[in-house]
């Protein structure tokens, strides 16, 4: 593997959700450890599943992976645990000194997603700069959050460092910045480590899909702009050409993969590139991880003996659309692990509702969104938008300066402008845009394609913090102010649909998301199993093995996790464009890709 040739101390794996970066990061860490090197594997993803891949509980502490290798250790940075510790460091010195009401106010200010992000980032930068913390490890392998979050994470050292440098008189950014001044040196050191190619190598992981490759090209450019120029590319999950000779589905998949590779963006062509073939087994457990980076036989020897049902009797997406349409309006939120097709499924449902003559607003809060590329067209009754963090932040700044800043003198206005340059401002701006859009659900359908799981939970955390603050300030607890969280918790107003694919890790993560939502008072309405091979059993031995693996996950969803679910098939061509998207909702219709 080119990306493993003379590896530096720090290796980052990033890319669009669902492309396999966690599996490749874990396999890389194991291979280095098997070579006798002490390795620390770190997940910075708020929705980490490293523990699931290894089949052990890791959490927010360095854990010896003794079954995998005596040289391998792992850590999952837990944003919520980091935030609790961060809050305590700031609040503890004033507890018992300031009035209780003031302390409660400080804790509330430190309860939002911005504090969570800062606290988690605090731990991340320590791994790059604190030699005592990482002493004895020859390599530190980072399994990062999905693309949009990773770019923000890697930009934060410069953003915070620059903001602190300019902030001579302090700031009032919701409280979190109170603890940042001490970290100036640490953040500066993190910037230097990330930008040094002798210390850091970034591995972009992608699938052979046009949308994914375009997104990874944008990631390449954006990360190069913040100093990470030493980049490698891994194309994961390629269907072997031998499988294309066995049935139409495999042939179509192979053809579209080769077409995507031949039209790869120019910026990626110059990168050192490795290609990994699709495996017949799920990438869970030590044996599977050790096989991932080795090109052996791709088809299980028992595949010919597999007895698949001729068809699976299960609801399709149309049955869910019928129930949703009967309400006339409301908020529909698609949530789930990155890469399971939330954008596609949200677009399909929005198009179907619009086709029925219902007004629909389709929007996304995903920083790596590609709704326009998925739709490839317009439709009557359908409006499309994206919550763009940069645009929303600039709009919020202008509004604050035009209102709060209008009557300030020059010195006070300068301080306000300085405060608004803080990265915390983005959290407020994005949350306000989210709140503004979901209010439309009172009179039309709002279909929201959310960011990958971790981002969504941070967004809901901000919503909950806002809910608590408004309720606390209203004074009249018998008639609390209406907040976005109330709308999300109201089943008559909001339907949350969890999207997944029939593989162990995405299903386990979806189940975890469901429990998190329930703790927040939000009951998921339905599950959708996307890209299912088993719906129409193929002849390809590799695909038959993967279809057989799906059956156990489908059974688990139907019996353990959700009484209401639908299954969407894997199509021969990528579901891009309105005609092709509509085929997903009526799976018994002729395949319009043929």
Question: If we measure between CA atoms, which residue out of 350, 416, 362, 424 comes closest to residue 393?
Answer: 424
Q: In sequence order, what are the beta bridge partners of 294? A: none
Q: Residues 356, 357, 359, 363: is their CA dihedral positive or negative?
A: positive
Query: Is 148 among the catalytic positions?
Result: no
- Catalytic pick among 63, 200, 212, 505: 505
Q: Which residues contact 172 (CB under 8 A, 6 or more apart)?
A: 419
CB 31 within 8 A of CB 4: yes
In the block, tokens 């080769």 appear at 258
Would you list the DSSP string of 397-452?
HHHHHHHTTTT--HHHHHHHHHHHTSTHHHHHHHHHHHHHHHGGGGTSEEEEEPPP
Distances (CA, A) of 220 to 16, 202, 216, 232, 343: 12, 9, 6, 9, 22
- Catalytic pick among 23, 28, 364, 456: 23
SS3 for 310-332 is CCCCCCCHHHHHHHHHCCCCEEE
Are β-strands 494-501 and 273-277 bridged in parallel, bridged antiparallel, or unpaired? unpaired
Query: Is 18 among the catalytic positions?
Result: yes
- Catalytic pick among 14, 15, 17, 20: 20
Q: How many CB atoms are closer than 10 A to CB 325?
A: 16
Q: Kindly compute the dihedral angle of the four CA atoms of residues 398, 403, 404, 408, in this order, to the nearest 10 degrees.
A: 100
CB 547 within 8 A of CB 533: yes
Q: Kindly compute the dihedral angle of the four CA atoms of residues 248, 250, 252, 256, in this order, to the nearest 10 degrees.
A: -170
Based on C-alpha coordinates, what's the Rg of the chain?
Answer: 24
- Catalytic pick among 14, 22, 115, 374: 22
Q: Which residues contact 5 (CB under 8 A, 6 or more apart)?
A: none
d(CA 308, CA 441): 43
Query: Is 131 among the catalytic positions?
Result: no
CB 493 within 8 A of CB 330: yes
d(CA 578, CA 347): 9
Query: Is 22 among the catalytic positions?
Result: yes
- Catalytic pick among 15, 17, 21, 147: 21
CB 495 within 8 A of CB 333: yes
- Catalytic pick among 17, 28, 45, 129: 45
Query: Is 500 among the catalytic positions?
Result: no
In the block, tokens 């600039």 appear at 394
Query: Is 21 among the catalytic positions?
Result: yes
Q: Kindly compute the dihedral angle of the four CA atoms of residues 266, 271, 273, 278, in this order, to the nearest 10 degrees.
A: -50
DSSP one-letter code for 4:
G
CB 362 within 8 A of CB 371: yes
d(CA 346, CA 447): 6
- Catalytic pick among 14, 15, 17, 18: 18
CB 39 within 8 A of CB 73: yes
Query: Is 23 among the catalytic positions?
Result: yes
DSSP one-letter code for 521:
T
Residues classed as catalytic: 18, 20-23, 45, 505
């Amino acid at each position: 593997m080119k990306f493993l040739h003379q590896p530096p101390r720090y290796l980052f794996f990033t890319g669009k959700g669902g492309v396999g970066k966690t599996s490749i990061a874990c396999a890389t860490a194991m291979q280095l450890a098997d070579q006798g090197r002490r390795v620390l594997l770190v997940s910075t993803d708020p929705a980490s599943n490293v523990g699931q891949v290894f089949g052990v509980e890791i959490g927010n502490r360095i854990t010896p992976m003794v079954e995998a290798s005596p040289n391998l250790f792992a850590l999952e940075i837990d944003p919520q645990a980091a935030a609790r510790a961060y809050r305590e460091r700031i609040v503890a010195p004033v507890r018992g000194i300031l009035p209780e009401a003031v302390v409660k106010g400080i804790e509330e200010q430190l309860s939002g997603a911005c504090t969570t992000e800062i606290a988690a980032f605090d731990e991340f930068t320590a791994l790059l700069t604190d030699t005592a913390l990482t002493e004895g490890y020859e390599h530190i392998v980072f399994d990062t959050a999905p693309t949009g979050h990773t770019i923000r994470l890697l930009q934060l050292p410069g953003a915070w460092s620059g903001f602190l440098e300019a902030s001579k008189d302090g700031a009032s950014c919701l409280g979190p910045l109170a603890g940042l001044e001490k970290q100036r040196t640490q953040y500066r050191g993190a910037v230097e480590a990330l930008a040094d190619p002798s210390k850091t190598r970034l591995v972009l992981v992608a699938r052979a899909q046009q949308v994914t490759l375009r997104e990874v090209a944008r990631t390449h450019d954006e990360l190069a702009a913040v100093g990470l120029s030493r980049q490698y590319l891994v194309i994961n999950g390629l269907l072997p050409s031998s499988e294309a000779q066995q049935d139409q589905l495999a042939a179509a998949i192979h053809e579209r993969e080769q077409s995507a590779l031949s039209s790869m963006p120019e910026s990626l062509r110059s990168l050192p590139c490795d290609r990994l073939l699709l495996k017949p087994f799920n990438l869970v457990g030590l044996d599977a991880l050790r096989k991932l980076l080795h090109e052996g036989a791709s088809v299980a020897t028992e595949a010919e003996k597999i007895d698949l049902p001729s068809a699976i009797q299960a609801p399709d997406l149309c049955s869910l659309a019928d129930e949703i349409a009967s309400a006339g309006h409301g908020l529909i939120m698609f949530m789930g692990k990155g890469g399971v097709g939330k954008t596609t499924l949200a677009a399909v449902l929005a198009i179907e509702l619009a086709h029925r003559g219902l007004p629909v607003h389709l929007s996304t809060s995903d920083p790596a969104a590609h709704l326009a590329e998925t739709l490839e067209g317009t439709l009557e009754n359908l409006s499309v938008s994206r919550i763009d963090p940069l645009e929303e932040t600039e709009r919020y700044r202008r509004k604050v300066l035009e209102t709060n800043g209008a009557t300030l003198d020059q010195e006070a206005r300068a301080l306000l402008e300085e405060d608004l340059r803080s990265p915390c401002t983005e959290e407020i701006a994005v949350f306000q845009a989210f709140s503004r859009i979901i209010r439309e659900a009172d009179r039309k359908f709002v279909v929201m394609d959310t960011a990958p799981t971790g981002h969504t939970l941070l967004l809901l955390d901000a919503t909950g913090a806002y809910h608590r603050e408004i309720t606390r300030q209203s004074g009249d607890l018998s008639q609390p102010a209406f907040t976005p969280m109330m709308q999300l918790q109201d089943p008559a107003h909001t339907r949350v649909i969890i999207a997944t694919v029939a593989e162990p890790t995405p299903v386990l993560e979806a189940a975890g998301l469901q429990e998190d939502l329930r703790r927040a008072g939000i009951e998921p309405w339905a599950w959708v199993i996307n890209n299912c091979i088993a719906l129409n059993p193929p002849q390809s031995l590799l695909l038959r093995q993967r279809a057989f693996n799906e059956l156990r996950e489908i059974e688990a969803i139907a019996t353990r996790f959700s009484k209401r679910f639908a299954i969407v098939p894997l199509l021969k061509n990528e579901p891009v464009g309105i005609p092709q998207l509509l085929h997903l909702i009526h799976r018994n219709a002729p395949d319009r890709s043929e």
